[in-house]
Structure 1
Amino acid sequence: MTSSMTLYCDEYHCSAGCVLFRFDASTPQICILRNNRSTEYVLPKGHKDLGESIEQAALRETYEETGWPCEFLPTNIVTRAPPPGVSSGEAAREALGATREAIAVTLRNLEGKPGSVKFVFWYIAQITSTKQHQNTQMATEDLEAKFMDAEEAIRTLSRPGDRDVAKRALELVNKTRAAETAKGSSNKS
């Protein structure tokens, strides 16, 4: 039996964020945030603004909270989203270089608060500049952005859900990079 629930716009929060990568070291690095008010280590994310797409919110929030200009990182993912013009069906399929697809959605129950359900859409991004911008955070934020070796960043994150998302992002990035390397090697043969 299938069940469903309808939530109206005043009953949920919609947020988006990114696992932000940098590749100038021998191993991939992930940017995590230290919340100086709570001392938690988290991934960058925040609320979607009115009129903004979820994808736009993910990149904007990541930039605002980290100060790093960024873009979506093309990765090979398995998704239930069909290619344009193809009947949807139920089967998962591989999407090569799916740059604008969320890799995960977190559902948080914020019991006791108005709009007690929060959806967080997660994407994979990479920096587009070697220079971090200053003073990009909202006045209410006190976050310190730090790039770390990806494995260390995953271990440092405070929330199990953030660790799971970052781990999955790293797996997808490593798998995509390995496929690109193998493809490059076979083209040279």
Structure 2
Amino acid sequence: MSRTGVANPSHFADPDPRFPFPHSPVPTRCQTEPATFDFANGDRSGESRAATERRLARARRACSGCPIVKDCLLWALVNKDLTKVGIFASTTPSQRTALRKRMVDRLGPDWIDVLADQDQARRERAAAARHTPLTISQARIVRLDREVNGPMPKPLTPAQQQRNMARLMAGLKAA
């Protein structure tokens, strides 16, 4: 039974269907240890500031090696109503708010639509590439690129992931 003017607590915000929740073939740390990522703005849970910082650092370390961290951050940024609490892709709710403001500055107020259009165009190009072979000129360019630049880069090592995490955190603190 529902009354006019009273919120319906059984209805939650739906995620944006253009950005599905990322999945990994192996369980991620946020799935196996959800309490580590439970955090809200100003949440201290009776802990000291140092204990809270240690808890946040533990969650950030867990995210730094996650195979879906990039997609997780995008999903968390796009689905603001679903990510008001918790650590997603090593970011706190206030950090995600700052990142959303930067996205508005960079791409405009309809930044979510811009990202969805870019993602759709990328998927269409990838699908077309599977069905349309390269021309002789394009194949030569690819071969020359491999000769000059070498093979595609290897996956990031844990040390590189840690360095990138430090850079991300420095950028978030500067924002």
Q: TM-score normalised by the shorter chain: which range applies?
A: under 0.3
Q: Which has the larger radius of gyration?
A: 2
Structure whose residues are more often helix by fraction: 2
TM-score by length of 1: 0.26
Q: TM-score, normalised by structure 2?
A: 0.28
Q: Which has the higher contact order (CA 8 A, sep 6+)?
A: 1
